[in-house]
Structure 1
């Protein structure tokens, strides 16, 4: 078109790019509305990585129905609340299994379009009829989803349905209610060699060359069996890596903070690699599992700290408007109550100058008080350092066991340790090669041992200021001798 004059054009508002964390990304297990993507079957029990909300939507679909599509709350928390990336998702909802048949429904046609307002529809199963005559997709009509996840049927000019005022539609829909904890836990099929569910944690490093980060399963980790499976997957991943998981308490049964001690005993999670949370969180009118927002907060904190996980996630703003139970009932804790929850090794949230995460202890506390294991920031620092050591020196494996090999590892680690110490990210970090750890028999057997000492700072959890009345100050003020 020939243009002459002054014109304007508006673009949609661009969202700010997420901060990219170089730590091993969070790995989220759950369900997604995969009927919204081109090939739903391609997104079943597969690890997918996303750096933006658009990437996540394109690979898994998106819905605000967080109860049924649990992965979506981590999408929202990570990409929109905290704006951090990347994140790895695993959807276990299988459209070949977790589905239901929808009864035939009549829809009204207006301007050659009709909206089929049924959720979760699998486009490949849609049958559209004009009266009793079945129409042909992409010849007589075109299907697409609207912003609400409903199917829009557009009649093609000249097609067999062109003059229709009503249409009859049948279809199948995915049914997230049929997904069970067994699907989340997954396993290994020895006959097919297929891994499913949490078993796929093993594939994170081989597939993405990233060490596994926090393992979460919002909406599912509250189940005792799922929680146990998550804890089991935190250590010796690929035989060498370690990480942590975040587990939620079930707020349909644990409705008061005074029930948490018994609830923790019932859950049976006392691992230093587990972080327990209660209750749920709310942003505006939307409920989130605590784990979804805490995981995003932790990665946001790391990304703004040169990707070093030495900072505690406690006393950091969560960006929420309330703490709630599953039924929406608000939970209003004061600091005394929140501290009692922390004393059980459980993280909660406290409205103290804004809603903040509150709690430094892993699930092993109070049974274990070793600072390496009890403090979340120390535990994550040790896992992070160990994972990076493995990655950094994997290329040294099978080199000759000589002085150059030993010196290269010792020098590199001590330089790194000195750097982090100088930046006040830890009190110290040093590595040694000791002859007492390396008798000649071991060297001849191809084994080399180093001894490393790490001292991440512990959190200043209890700051006490002792106040005392000083009468002499009044005496001086009044001119006394």
Structure 2
């Protein structure tokens, strides 16, 4: 009862009973890497550094720049979106103020169009002086700078410029260099309340309302330190992570790497999915080593337009997210066709009939690979996490582990409204009713074979309840994938007795046979 005095009658509305449990989002990819934000001409559109940003469309992906070779984020977003569905929480760690290569003062000559091509895109800290040195020219007065394309253009003397047409000058500058991004940048840190790198995924729930559930760092996860950090982060946010193999790795080497300490594949975490091999694709990205000028002086960036190799994880992540949305998180990612790839960067023998095939040997070692046979297209192939074969419990199946994650986090978040209520039988009943209604809905959808929530008095002694603690049991079983289908065929000679047992032809009365 309220503490205030009342000599009369009142009605107090008390919320009671079960509450709906909202299923957490599973088709959300956490992507960390490098983006050419220097190529985004509008600073208000460019994605911020080390800030988890939600990308749900090609328009959102544009904030991380175009496809530029050497930068992982635009390529990964393109691979994800090629699968047709899914969202990504993206963290860009590329900082042009730190990740650059400095070019000392070098002699350049203005061409007939009054331009100098520095030979690199994404330039900064440009200093133009006379040759020999002595006079430092002023940007905007003596020359203009196109930092995106790496062009210095002469301001004619008639417009106030002090550089003669066709003059030779000395130019020093920095150019954006994604190869300078280190593993430590991708892993990030928490310093003074500021989260950088993949650590920024921890604040995604506070800023966006959900955590990423599929973590990738294409181009970096093949490094053991990044792979280990991704696995740790996956545990923190209750996700799974995709770890890549290095390019041009043979199937034998990939399997051997499972036992090499210090290698990214040397893990038995049920939250790690080992992705092998890397994949070829048609790379239409911009080559950032300079542009060409047409007759009108308009810069034309060069496109690679050739086959290249990229980490498999970005395509697997997109396929997983799309399958989650189309069929459900309790479906295995295996046997899902992938768009945008041309094939593995090494030759693989794939067969569902031969246990000695490369793909079967890889799966037996807990490695997810790619399957390609006549008329199948390229498919994700493998049901098990890196926990297999060390662990034989059902949660080494990727779909089982992910289903348990969704159930556990959904129930935890739904319990917020019960926290700090007075403990009573009504409260216990409401919690049980909420959990069991949720579990029943999952059984109806096919996400669970069976399950129930219960309250065991033996697990809740009075001293524990006096401390404000309640313990509930949840018993559930997600459906394992049909990884192996066996037919037992028998040659039954007794079936030969059916020969000659057909009914004789009957001729109707009065008819002519």
Using the size of structure 2 for normalisation, the TM-score is 0.76
How many angstroms apart in 1 are the aligned matches of 2:377 and 2:441? 34
Determine the structure 1 residue equivalent to 2:329.
Answer: 309
Change in Cα spacing, 1:464 to 1:152, as seen in structure 2 (3 Å) is same
Residue 45 (str. 1) matches residue 50 (str. 2)? yes
- Aligned ranges 1:92-171 → 2 under 5 Å: 92-103=93-104, 104=106, 106=108, 116-122=118-124, 125-127=125-127, 137=139, 143-144=145-146, 150-151=149-150, 159-160=159-160, 164=165, 170-171=172-173
Spell out the pairing of 1:363-378 with structure 2 (5 A cutoff). 363-371=386-394, 373-378=395-400
Match of 1:212 in 2: 212
Match of residue 249 from structure 1: 245
Assess if the C-alpha contact under 8 Å between 1:283 and 1:319 holds in 2.
Answer: no
Structure 1 partner of 2:293: none
Counterparts of 1:323 and 1:52, CA distance in 2: 26
The partner residue of 1:463 within 485, 495, 501 is 485
Distance of 2:415 and 2:143 partners within structure 1: 59
Distance 1:320 1:333 in 2: 21
Contact 1:248 1:291 in 2 (8 A): yes
CA contact (8 A) 1:28 1:90 kept: yes
Q: Following the alignment from structure 2 to structure 1, what is the Cα–Cα distance between the partners of residues 337 and 167?
A: 52
Distance 2:252 2:496 in 1: 46
Paired with 1:156 and 1:394, the residues of 2 have a C-alpha distance of: 65
Is residue 286 of structure 2 the alignment partner of residue 264 of structure 1?
no
Q: Partner of 2:4 in structure 1?
A: none
Alignment check: 8 A CA contact 2:27 2:86 kept: no
Who is 2:89 aligned against?
Answer: 88
Correspondent of 2:277 among 276, 279, 284 = 279
Report the equivalent of 2:29: 26
In 2, the alpha carbon distance for the partners of 1:457 and 1:70 equals 35
In the TM superposition, what is the alpha-carbon distance from 1:43 to its structure 2 partner?
3.1
SS at structure 2 position matched to 1:443: helix
Alignment partner, residue 332 of structure 1: 348
Q: When the two structures are aligned, how many residues end up with a matched partner?
A: 437
Alignment of 1:72-83 (within 5 A): 72-79=74-81, 81-83=82-84
Relative contact order, higher structure (CA 8 A, sep 6+): 2
- In 2, are the aligned partners of 1:26 and 1:213 still within 8 Å (CA)? yes
Q: 1:167-219 deviations in whole A, cap 9, x for unaligned? A: 85543112222222222222233xx4433223223222222221231121111
Equivalent pair of 2:108/2:116 in contact (CA under 8 Å): no
* Closer, same or farther: CA 409–334 of 1 in aligned 2, 3 Å: same
* Structure 1 residue aligned with 2:188: 186
Task: Provide the C-alpha distance between the structure 2 equivalents of 1:166 and 1:416, rounded to a whole number of angstroms.
Answer: 76
Residue ranges of structure 1 left out of the alignment (5+ in a row): 1-20
Residues 154 and 273 (structure 1 numbering): CA distance in 2 closer, same or farther, change over 3 Å?
Answer: same
Counterpart in the other structure of 1:402? 424
Does the CA contact (< 8 Å) of 2:244 and 2:313 recur in 1? yes
For the residues of structure 2 that align with 1:110 and 1:395, how far apart are their CA atoms?
72
| CA contact 1:349–1:358 (8 Å) conserved in 2 | yes
Instruction: Spell out, residue by residue over 1:422-480, the C-alpha distance to the aligned partner (whole angstroms, 9 max, x if none).
Output: 22232123211222222221111111111112211100001122333455556645568
Q: Deviations over 1:285-323 (max 9, x none)?
A: 242211111111111111113xx4100000100125444
Decide which of 169, 176, 183 is 1:174's aligned counterpart. Answer: 176
Shift of 1:89: 1.6
CA distance in 2, matches of 1:107, 1:439: 86
- The separation in 2 between residues aligned to 1:113 and 1:410, in whole angstroms, is 74
Residue aligned with 1:417, SS: helix
Given that 1:48 and 1:89 are in contact with CA atoms closer than 8 Å, whether structure 2 keeps it comes out as yes
Which string of whole-angstrom CA distances, capped at 9 and with x for unpartnered residues, describes residues 142-183 of structure 1? 6557xxx62456777963459946785543112222222222
Question: Is residue 221 of structure 1 aligned with residue 221 of structure 2?
Answer: yes
The whole-number CA distance in structure 1 between the counterparts of 2:94 and 2:28 is 22
Cα distance in 2, alignment partners of residues 135 and 264 from structure 1: 58
Q: Does the aligned pair in 1 maintain the 2:278–2:344 contact within 8 Å?
A: yes
Task: Tell me if structure 2 keeps the 8 A contact 1:50–1:85.
Answer: no
Cα 1:108/1:477, change in 2 over 3 Å? farther
- Structure 2 counterpart SS, 1:233: helix
The Cα shift of 1:383 comes to 0.9
Partner secondary structure for residue 84 of structure 1: coil
Q: Which runs of 5+ in 2 are unaligned?
A: 1-23, 283-306, 352-356, 504-513
| Alpha-carbon spacing, 1:105–1:287, altered in 2? closer, same or farther (3 Å) | farther
